Amino acid sequence: MGGFELKWFVGVAVVLMMVQNILGWGKEGHYIICKIAEEYLTEDALAAVKALLPDQAEGDLAAVCSWPDEVRRHYHYRWSSPLHYVDTPDFLCNYKYCRDCHDGHGLKDRCVTGAIYNYSMQLSQGYYDLNSEKYNLTEALMFLSHFVGDVHQPLHVGFTGDLGGNSIIVRWYRRKTNLHHVWDNMIIESALKKYYKSDIMLMTQVLLKNITHEWSDDVPSWEDCKEMVCPDPYASESIRLACKFAYRNATPGSTLTDDYFLSRLPVVEKRLAQGGVRLAEVLNRIFTKKPSVAAQ
Ligand code: ADE
Ligand code: ZN
Ligand code: ZN
């Protein structure tokens, strides 16, 4: 590659990385959550998911779990931007749907937990009445799968004043970034490099093994949900974790290194696993085969 071409190539790569920086649980986080979910889908749910996936997914849910982050900045999908998070009043470490689930204009239900209720309702209604063309079920599936991931990222349930850590500038080792990005991307990326030979499937397999071994006693409690979907307790867990682990010792201007990385990585790993198991649970509940009319 000549000097000019190389510079051009590097320039484009840097711009692409900057664009990546402003997106949700990074691409890796969503990919891992959806890969874990795929392993726990029932046969019926897997068939329904495959039937709804867009062609570009080539039958793989994980391939499109970051789609809502890709489109949220496009003019046509700008309305969806507040649906990726829910913030609490500053320094309050609890979450309440009625108080917190609204967008910047105060419009109710426009937040990540409201979106999870909405898209799971659309999918179950649509599945019930396959002839209905009221909803775009392909988009509903991609939004639901993404938002169940987002609500598990502790800083997607952060404080209003700092935009869930987006306005807290910190250093991650030597790199300047913000606290939200550390939790979306940096902790996972550093873990991939340090422990998993940069192999995302290896990291996924290790988490899957933990689900059936180290965490197996806890998994039934992760799945505990009496409704179709239970985003409120997930958001409550997230803001508690944000207070206890994300915001703690991460004030503006601080440099985060091994101490922070090694103590927070177990939190991130468990959130990815919980997100995956719970996404599978909700899809399994939505897509349970209904008795056919003839059999009744
Ligand atoms: N913008 C405002 N608050 C946010 C949050 N908690 N997560 C992502 N983006 C946000
Ligand atoms: Zn998102
Ligand atoms: Zn994010």
Instruction: Domain ranges for the chain, please list them.
Output: 23-289
Average pLDDT over residues 71-96: 98
Q: Which residue has the higher pLDDT, 239 or 5?
A: 239
Cβ(111)–Cβ(97) below 8 Å: no
Please give the distance, rounded to the nearest whole angstrom, from the Cα atom of residue 24 to the centre of ligand 3: 3
pLDDT digits (tens, 9 = 90+) for 200-230: 999 999 999 999 999 999 999 999 999 999 9
pLDDT one-digit tens code per residue, 138-147: 999 999 999 9
pLDDT at 291 over 70: no
Q: Give the confidence band of 133 by pLDDT, cuts at 50, 70, 90.
A: confident
Please report which confidence band the pLDDT of residue 269 belongs to, taking 50, 70 and 90 as the band edges: very high
In this prediction, residue 21 carries a pLDDT of 38
- In degrees and rounded to multiples of 5, residue 20 shows phi and psi of -55, -40
Nearest CA to ligand 1 atom 7: 156
Give the tens place of pLDDT for each residue, 146-193: 999 999 999 999 999 999 999 999 999 999 999 999 999 999 999 999
Check pocket membership of 156 for ligand 1, CB cut-off 6 A: yes
pTM of the model: 0.91
CA angle 153, 72, 279 (to 5 degrees): 40
Rounded to the nearest integer, the mean pLDDT of the chain is 91
The yes-or-no verdict on residue 276 having pLDDT over 90 is yes
To the nearest 10°, the Cα dihedral for 70, 23, 279, 55? Answer: 20
In this prediction, residue 26 carries a pLDDT of: 85
**Spatial strand order in the sheet of 255-256:** 175-178, 169-172, 255-256
Q: How confident is the model at residue 293 (pLDDT cuts 50, 70, 90)?
A: low
> In angstroms, what is the span from residue 225 Cα to ligand 2's centroid?
23
Kindly report the backbone phi and psi dihedral angles of residue 288, in degrees, each rounded to the nearest multiple of 5, phi listed first: -80, 140
Task: Give the integer Cα–Cα distance in Å for 150 and 33.
Answer: 10
Question: Ligand 1, atom 1: nearest CA belongs to which residue?
Answer: 163
Higher per-residue confidence, 229 vs 23: 229
CATH topology of domain 23-289: P1 Nuclease (1.10.575)
**Ligand 1 neighbourhood includes 164 CB (under 6 angstroms):** yes
CA distance 236 to 89: 13
pLDDT, position 294: 47
